[in-house]
């Protein structure tokens, strides 16, 4: 077992154990709110390591909590805690020169996550993913993991302040 896989397995199991009450609460909340509206989980086919497709599960919510079920994929070895952004098997980055991104498992987080995620142009996200594939090592993974939570908090704070300004402008 490589050090990266050991980090994924033990980190994923520890996070699942620590977050299990939150996962249960989100599941219950979504089940009550969305009864009969497609279920609690969203399913999407993604390309894993070597191009092996699997069905990725996320919660049907638009909050950072949506990704909690991804920990199951990390423990199963389909995903990694850190890696390139998961893409559908037919995506243009899964063929040709960019196919090398499939030499590693897709990640719950990565350089794309800590560098601005949806605010980045697609080409820049692609370059960050390929840089990770070509240069990843355990120290880089640990640094990305350490920067993920602050990056998510910054994005939430920025979107909250934008929403607050928009609301203030509407009230004026």
Span 40-87, pLDDT tens digits: 999 999 999 999 999 999 999 888 799 999 999 999 999 999 999 999
Residue 90, both tokens: 């037919």
Helix axes 138-171, 3-33, angle to 10 degrees: 30
**Over the stretch 28-44, which tens digit does the pLDDT of each residue have?**
999 888 665 678 999 99
pLDDT at 164: 47
Q: Exposed/middle/buried for 116, CB within 10 Å: 0-12, 13-18, 19+? A: middle
Q: Is residue 168 over pLDDT 50?
A: no
Burial 69-88 (b: 16+ CB within 10 A, else e): bbbebbbeebbbbbbbbbbe
More confident residue, 68 or 97: 68
pLDDT at 113: 86
Answer for the pair 89, 53: CB distance below 8 angstroms, yes or no. yes
pLDDT band (50, 70, 90) for residue 1: low
Lowest mean pLDDT among 13-27, 71-85, 92-106: 92-106
Residue 97, both tokens: 């020169």
Answer for the pair 42, 58: CB distance below 8 angstroms, yes or no. yes
Which DSSP symbol is given to 110?
-
Q: How many residues does the chain have?
A: 172
d(CA 84, CA 133): 7
């Amino acid at each position: 077992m490589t050090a990266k896989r050991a980090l994924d397995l033990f980190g994923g199991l520890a996070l699942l154990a620590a977050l299990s009450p939150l996962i249960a609460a989100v599941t219950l909340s979504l089940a009550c709110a969305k009864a009969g509206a497609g279920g609690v989980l969203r399913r999407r086919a993604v390309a894993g390591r070597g191009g092996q497709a699997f069905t990725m599960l996320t919660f049907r919510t638009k909050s950072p909590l949506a990704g909690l079920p991804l920990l199951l994929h990390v423990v199963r070895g389909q995903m990694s805690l850190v890696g390139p952004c998961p893409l559908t098997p037919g995506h243009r980055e899964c063929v040709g020169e960019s196919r090398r991104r499939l030499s590693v498992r897709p990640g719950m987080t990565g350089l794309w996550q800590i560098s601005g995620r949806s605010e980045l142009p697609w080409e820049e996200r692609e370059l960050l993913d390929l840089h990770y594939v070509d240069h990843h090592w355990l120290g880089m993974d640990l640094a990305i993991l350490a920067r993920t939570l602050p990056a998510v908090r910054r994005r939430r704070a920025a979107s909250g302040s934008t929403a607050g300004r928009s609301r203030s402008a509407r009230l004026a």
